[in-house]
Structure 1
Amino acid sequence: MFEHEARRQPTASTHGIVDPAAAATGFELVRLEPAPDLADLVERHWVIRWDLPPGAEFRQVVIPHPNANAVAEAGGWRVHGVPAGLFSRTLHGHGAVVGTKLRPGALRMLLGDPEAVRPDLVMPAGVAFAARAPGYPASGDVEAAGRAAVLAALSGDVAGAVEPLTPVLRAVAARRRTARSTAALDRVARALAAVVGGELGPDAGVRELAAHAGTTPRSLQRLFAHWVGVSPKWVLQRHRVHLAADLLAVDPGRSLADLATAVGYYDQAHLSADFARALGVPPAAFARRCAEGRRASPTGVPTPVGRA
């Protein structure tokens, strides 16, 4: 695989929603492709809109990927680093959010600052993307772009919601791309694409991932620490939990022993420990929640919405 092809392969799955059947009620998600010249830095854009009855609320929980997001909402446009734990948001009334899922390592490139890989980083986009040097957009222009994105989404113009954000990202990328950073992101993308694309066996470890990426385990660990902010082991474990959660959402009655084998665990106990650490509940409790969501869903089938 050539490097320019590797960096455009998916590095994050569409798995991650907790209780997808319940998530199908009251809000919708649309995912959009980035501009071609930003595809090395942007995995995808996503727009969520919701309209809940008066007094109702919905708490959406997502299992994070190793990706940062730039999220425009009513309170402003902010950059969010890789969450240290579960990401949750409680929705009320009527609203919209416009997000940009950056490729792993892309935020480190765009900021040019080690702070980019700090767990749970939250930074106003006006600080992250504006006035760092001549040629950068002004802070007011960055903030205006975020407001315009949200207004477009609220009006129903989902495709138009990402248009104000693209010039800002393009201007910053033009200033920050270097041969060194591009090569580093290529190596990260190659490794992540192998995990998400199933090129490795379900029980593959860091050694196998490093060999696939053409490097040593130690070099791969340093690469991820510098550019992504999580370890290769974290990525492999989190991907298995994503797969396990998705399989349980489709079939809540599935045997946990069979599930453990399917996603690459040697035994059910290790799956249960990683699953509970990532989601806050063990697989059996998650399966019961999904079964309840299926019964509450109008179709009885989990709908894959809400997966940014």
Structure 2
Amino acid sequence: MRQVFDGEAAVTPTSTTSALDSGPTLGIVDPVRARDSFALARVEPASDLADLVDWHWVISWDLPPGVAFTQTVMPHPVGHVVAEREGLLAYAMPAGLFVRTLTGSGAVVGTKLHPGAYRALLGRADPGERGTVEPAAFLGPTAARANEEAVAQAAAEPDAAVRTLTPLLREAAERSRTARSTAALTGLREAFAVIADAVPGTSVAALAGALGTTPRSLQRLFADWVGVSPKWVLQRHRVHLAAELLGRDPDLDLAGLAAAVGYYDQAHFTGDFVRAVGVPPGEYARTCRRGARQRA
């Protein structure tokens, strides 16, 4: 079973608190139900990997016999490296919604990379075909043993699981870093920081102006290293924010929400939301409302 989950803010995990209860859950569809089905710990990367690694995430679950839980995730424009039962796998940016069903008990240890870092860490000449999953052979011959140890540690000791994998990532980074990749990742970090703080409805031209570059140069940077356009990222950021806000308060006025995240009309908002989440915002709000009532 292959699973990828990601959120939007790193927090230090504890043995008793899931990050689903203590931080933003951008990307996790219906986070209320998720809280009752699996635990999520987020771990900061080692300082010498912070240019490539956004954070590490550790998912663990223990469901009763005969019970299954299906989780949907809206992907971010990044790749992941994941330790799971099948081995260490490298995931390029997903091609669409990521859906996985959990049964029984288990754990996975993931590394969420920065935009562009999938290409940089794997030493590729391109950002990778969206949806591709392949063995993480770039981590070397000791990867299988480290994977087994990390998965065994994950549920009880998420920090230890991450420490087990960190030397492999460090060695791969030392082999693959180049002046070109360093410059590209720096430019992308600046772009994504501006996107995160941008006024809703910001255009690609405005984003390029804030970064002191041209729209064409910005589009080329994203195409070469991320695999999607700046316009795609701006739109996806708005939908992630809208879904997060609805998850917190399913009774929000949808027209007001659309305007708040940068849409001039509700029809365009609904269309983008359906493409990203799989259901209209009204249906998503009802699902979140039911989950909140059941949990109460």
Q: What TM-score comes out, normalization by structure 1 length?
A: 0.86
Whether 1:179 aligns to 2:179 is yes
Q: Partner of 2:192 in structure 1?
A: 192
- Residues 53-95 of structure 1 show CA distances to partners (whole Å, capped at 9, x for unaligned) of 1100000111111111111111111011111111111000110
Contact 1:260/1:268, CA 8 A, preserved across alignment? yes
Provide the C-alpha distance between the structure 1 equivalents of 2:129 and 2:231, rounded to a whole number of angstroms.
Answer: 17
Moved over 6 A (4+): none
Provide the C-alpha distance between the structure 2 equivalents of 1:44 and 1:115, rounded to a whole number of angstroms.
Answer: 22
Per-residue deviation, 1:116: 3.7
Contact 1:74/1:147, CA 8 A, preserved across alignment? yes
Alignment of 1:171-250 (within 5 A): 171-196=171-196, 198=197, 200-250=198-248
Q: 2:45 aligns with which of 28, 34, 56?
A: 34
Provide the C-alpha distance between the structure 2 equivalents of 1:25 and 1:150, rounded to a whole number of angstroms.
Answer: 21
Q: For residue 136 of structure 2, what is the amino acid of its counterpart?
A: A
Contact 1:125/1:143, CA 8 A, preserved across alignment? no
Whether 1:111 aligns to 2:109 is no
- Residues 106-161 of structure 1 show CA distances to partners (whole Å, capped at 9, x for unaligned) of 111122223543111111112xx14xxxxxx32xx11221111101114x111100
Contact 2:126/2:225, CA 8 A, preserved across alignment? no
Q: Partner of 2:150 in structure 1?
A: 149
Contact 2:25/2:244, CA 8 A, preserved across alignment? no
Provide the C-alpha distance between the structure 2 equivalents of 1:277 and 1:286, rounded to a whole number of angstroms.
Answer: 13
Specify the SS of the correspondent of 1:97. strand
- Residues 1-46 of structure 1 show CA distances to partners (whole Å, capped at 9, x for unaligned) of xxxxxxxx99xx7411111110111311000000000000000001
Provide the C-alpha distance between the structure 1 equivalents of 2:210 and 2:147, rounded to a whole number of angstroms.
Answer: 39
Q: Partner of 2:13 in structure 1?
A: none
Specify the SS of the correspondent of 2:110. strand
Provide the C-alpha distance between the structure 2 equivalents of 1:152 and 1:214, rounded to a whole number of angstroms.
Answer: 46
Q: Partner of 1:91 in structure 2?
A: 102
Unaligned runs of 5+ in 1: 1-8, 131-136, 301-308
Provide the C-alpha distance between the structure 2 equivalents of 1:295 and 1:219, rounded to a whole number of angstroms.
Answer: 48
Per-residue deviation, 1:210: 1.2
Over the residues paired in the alignment, what is the CA RMSD in angstroms? 1.4
Q: Partner of 1:72 in structure 2?
A: 83
Contact 1:98/1:162, CA 8 A, preserved across alignment? yes
Provide the C-alpha distance between the structure 2 equivalents of 1:146 and 1:215, rounded to a whole number of angstroms.
Answer: 42
Contact 2:25/2:31, CA 8 A, preserved across alignment? no
Q: For residue 279 of structure 2, what is the amino acid of its counterpart?
A: V
Contact 2:63/2:105, CA 8 A, preserved across alignment? yes
Q: Partner of 1:3 in structure 2?
A: none
Unaligned runs of 5+ in 2: 1-8, 11-23
Q: For residue 213 of structure 1, what is the amino acid of its counterpart?
A: L
Q: For residue 21 of structure 1, what is the amino acid of its counterpart?
A: V
Provide the C-alpha distance between the structure 2 equivalents of 1:195 and 1:109, rounded to a whole number of angstroms.
Answer: 22
Provide the C-alpha distance between the structure 2 equivalents of 1:93 and 1:65, rounded to a whole number of angstroms.
Answer: 27
Provide the C-alpha distance between the structure 2 equivalents of 1:276 and 1:292, rounded to a whole number of angstroms.
Answer: 19
Provide the C-alpha distance between the structure 2 equivalents of 1:187 and 1:14, rounded to a whole number of angstroms.
Answer: 26
Q: For residue 153 of structure 1, what is the amino acid of its counterpart?
A: A
Provide the C-alpha distance between the structure 2 equivalents of 1:14 and 1:202, rounded to a whole number of angstroms.
Answer: 19
